[in-house]
Amino acid sequence: MINNEYLLAREFTSRIGQPIMFLILALSIGLAICVALPRLRKYSQAAAFSLVLLMASGWLVLIAFHYKISTSLVLVDPTGQLPSGRFMIPVWIENEKFFFWTLVLGVLVLIGRRRPVAYQSVLTMILAVFGILTFFTSNPFSAPLAGFHADLTNYAGVLASSLDPMVRAQAFHSLHGKMVGYYNSAYMWIHPPMLFIAYSTFVLAFVGNIFMLKKEREQDYERLAYTWAKPGFILLTVGLLIGYPWAVAAWAGEPWWYDPKINITLMMWLLYSAYLHARLYIHRRGMWVTTAILGYLGFLGVVITYLTTYVIPGIHSVAG
């Protein structure tokens, strides 16, 4: 099933993408320096714009690779019982997740109007840190879709090493199940981007919450935090709600109640819900700080939720 067209596309993606990633690293470091040094701050907007443009071009390369996968790879049932299928993989799986998150954050950093200078500076610095982290922890071009490639290689290995029809059929059903339930799932096209766009808006809300703690009663920061927490909360809630029916179907028969990732995600949702409730009485004594801290903790929840996938083993994790 693995053919030259796919292998060449994968190699091409890596060869084109790696220089883009080095440029992203360089621009991110440059952006951080521009923000840190007041003398260079006037260049930060241009640097941020270039970074986002570069990330967008990288993402286009990934889209082209995914398109190539859909046209070049065909999964054929060795028993002939199921129709052959193609992979329609969304562009936010594996290492592409954090890349996508950074790209969305970059767009949100750029589209801001009439934001306080200090707020925009902190936000731009966070974007620079995200760019650096993307290079070191989630480079989608060093080994494009490594997990998917491993699935294909394992399947091809079984087909090459065994003539036993049972073994071949078992290997096919394993990959076919993953294709239908994960790689090609409509849910994968909707649920992750909703959550990653939500996470990006929560970064903007978080910066507002930081300034709320620093500058008591500064309405601008409170307004900014709330403005960005709103779309984030809507996307997070709807994204999670959409996830439940999928989980029921995909994890049928598997123990997934109180899975660590699900626990932490719900904790994050509960904290943002508490934040939005607290905000209703923000002018009461003590509620300004309470609201800011809840927003702050909510974002801590976002970070922990993301890390849980890679650290704590579970049905919704890649750890272990």
Partner 1 sequence: MIKNLNYILILLTIFILVAIGVIFIYGSSYSWVQSLQFANWRQTVTYQNYVSDMNVAVLPLSVALVILLGLCVPKRIFSGVALLQSMAALLVVSVLVVLVYGLKPGIGFLLITAVLIQAVVIGMTLVGSKRLSYEVNGFYLQIGSAVLHLGFILFVFDFVLLGESTLHLTVYWVSTVLISVGMILSFYSGEISRLAEERVSRR
- Summarize as ranges the residues that interact with partner 1 (CB under 8 A): 230-231, 233-234, 237-238, 241-242, 244-245, 248, 255, 257-261, 263-264, 266-267, 270-271, 273-274, 277-278, 280-281, 284, 290, 294, 301, 308, 311-315, 320
> Considering beta carbons, is residue 25 or 282 the nearer one to partner 1?
282
- Cβ-proximal residues to 299 (8 Å cutoff; 6+ apart), any chain: 202, 203, 205, 206, 209
Provide the minimum distance between the beta carbon of 283 and partner 1 in the complex, in angstroms, as a whole number: 11
Tokens of 25: 């690293």
User: Residues 6 or more apart from 89 whose CB is under 8 A from it?
Assistant: 66, 69, 70, 145, 148, 183, 184
Q: How far is the CB of 314 from partner 1 (least distance, A)?
A: 6
**Given the complex with partner 1, which of 148 and 202 has the nearer CB atom?**
202
| Distance between CA atoms of residues 33 and 93, nearest Å | 31
- To partner 1, the closest distance from the beta carbon of 254 in angstroms equals 8
SS3 of residue 319 by DSSP: coil
Helices of type H across the chain: 4-36, 44-72, 96-110, 117-137, 146-161, 165-178, 186-214, 219-250, 260-279, 287-311
Amino acid of residue 249: A
Least distance in Å: CB of 264 to partner 1?
5
The terminus-to-terminus CA distance of the chain in angstroms comes to 29
83/255 with CB nearer partner 1: 255
Distance in Å, CB of 257 to partner 1, minimum = 5
Q: Which is nearer to partner 1, 15 or 277 (CB)?
A: 277
Q: Which is nearer to partner 1, 135 or 233 (CB)?
A: 233
The residue (of 155 and 306) whose beta carbon lies closer to partner 1 is 306
CB of 288 to partner 1, least distance (A): 14
CA gap 246, 255 in Å, rounded: 15
Instruction: Give how far the C-alpha of residue 31 lies from the chain's centroid of Cα atoms, to the nearest Å.
Output: 22
